[in-house]
A and B are shown apart, each in its own frame.
Chain A
Amino acid sequence: MSENENLDVPETQLELDTDAALQNVDEEDDEDEVEQITAQKVLEILETAWTNELGAPELLQHQTDMLELMLSQVAHMEDQMKDLDKNDFRMVVHQMELERIRYIMASYLRCRLQKIETYTQHIINEDAQREPEDKRLSIEESKYAQEFVAHVDEYFNKVATQYMPNQQRGEAEQRIVLPNLMSHVFLKANVAVPAVIVGVDDEEVDLAPGSQHIIPYQMVADLIHKNQAQLI
């Protein structure tokens, strides 16, 4: 399944051309240079983001742009399929693929919500220090995290903490749950990465493309961020 060669094929009545919708979306962003990206590429990026997120102990950078592109692509295709017979061969196959893609997106976002709910305060604090383009939380997630913290605080306060004497500031801080960044993960190198420190004693290893490793997350967090390696 190589790159989609049908980039220039005009959309026929029955043809669900997967590139058309993405071009439309891009045109709406009239500010920047229009950067072409195929739906196939977007899917690849989302799949990697998904498995990385499943494997990483901490919350990774959000993928709002890719999600938006894919969700509008899915909506576009569903729209085009409306008139097809539901037993039509094309209909069934497209539906099956969309189901798979929807699952990936849902599983990905659920995994993120789970981390957000577990490490809420920690994630909010960290994000507050980051530049806008480096924030881990999307705008929607950030709103969700803020609300969640407020709801949890309200609940704990109503039931217990308001009755506890002399609440210390330090104690609230002690209750912040942190991810264990030293937890071990499975990693696959996408490219050759020389001299990766793999242990506390500064042992170094060169990662060959395609090689697989088990290693504490923190040692390779930046490789994942730079897409030089991915979690499996």
Chain B
Amino acid sequence: MDPCIIEFIGEKSIIGIIPNFSNDPLHLIYGTVGPFRAGLPVHVPLWLGIHLRKQQKCRIVPPEWMDMDVLEEIKEEEKKSKFFTKMPSEHYMVVAQLVMSTAPDDVPRCEELRTIIKDIFDIRESKLRTSIDAFIKGEGTYAKLDNLTLLEIHSVRPILPHSLDHIARYQRMAEVTQRDTSILGLSRTTGTGTGTGTMSNSSLYTQ
């Protein structure tokens, strides 16, 4: 999946905004948004929130987890845990990136937040790399990926699934070769035909 598709999917996340205009509810296909009342917070999909913010029609209310204390705790937890901890948002990287790049003024301690979110992401990525390494060396074909977010899962693409596909292919080939060799061994004693049968008889060349 292309990173821009992951962002596109992440843009469905819900975010709070405080509009500076009023409008009746809108019945979008995915559901109803609004009503919009100037000065009163309302929840909208991120794609809409970002758009309205760009048009200077609202302020963004950062999600609760975009807070230094909360994130410090998550970071410590992530460091301590052998496994991946559950993130406060399925799309925390996309949300953080979009909100902080569009509306840095709406986010208190924006720069610090940026750093700590990146730290958390890095800790998780390095954990991910270590476990993939162990997974491949252990010749596994199946693994649980609990608590990994979409972006993280796809950060190992295409390398992870492709290398597993290749390993599986080699394994299958090794089995086939083994079978062929035993057939060849037989055919050598009986002296008929060749193993793989690309040309099992000369009728290919009769006209």
Contact B28 A94 (CB under 8 A): yes
Interface positions, chain B 182-207, Cβ under 8 Å from A, are 204-205, 207
**Contact residues in A for B8 (Cβ distance below 8 Å):** 100, 103
Chain A residue with Cβ nearest B147? A212
Task: Confirm or deny: A148 has a beta carbon within 8 angstroms of a beta carbon on chain B.
Answer: no
| A166-215 CB contacts (< 8 Å) to partner B | 166, 168, 180, 182-186, 198-200, 203, 205, 211-215
Complex CA gap A93/B45 in Å reads 11
Segment among B63-71, B75-83, B113-121, B160-168 that sits at the interface with chain A: B160-168
The SS class assigned to the B binding surface is mixed
Contacting residues, chain A, for B165 (C-beta < 8 A): 180, 182-184
Main secondary structure of the interface of A (DSSP, over half): mixed
Name the distance in Å between B136's Cβ and chain A's nearest Cβ: 11
Closest to B171 in A: A200
- Distance (whole angstroms) from the CB of A64 to the closest CB of chain B: 19
- The reply on B150 being an interface residue by CB < 8 A is yes
Q: Give the number of residues in A that approach B within 8 Å (Cβ atoms).
A: 50
Which residue of B23, B47, B144, B205 contacts A213 across the interface (Cβ within 8 Å)? B144
Partner of A39 from the list B1, B29, B47, B153 (CB cut-off 8 Å) is B29
0/1 per residue, A71-92, Cβ < 8 Å to B?
0010001000000000001101
Which residues of B have CB within 8 Å of A183?
161, 165
A51 to B26, CA, bound (A): 27
A221 interfacial contact with B, CB 8 Å: no
Contact flag A184-B141 (CB < 8 Å), given A100-B47, A103-B8: yes
A positions within 8 Å CB-CB of B: 1-6, 15-18, 39-40, 43, 51, 54-55, 73, 77, 89-90, 92-94, 96-97, 100-101, 103, 107, 166, 168, 180, 182-186, 198-200, 203, 205, 211-216, 219, 232
In the A-B complex, the 5 residue pairs with the smallest Cβ-Cβ separation, listed nearest first, are A1-B31, A184-B161, A198-B142, A212-B145, A184-B164
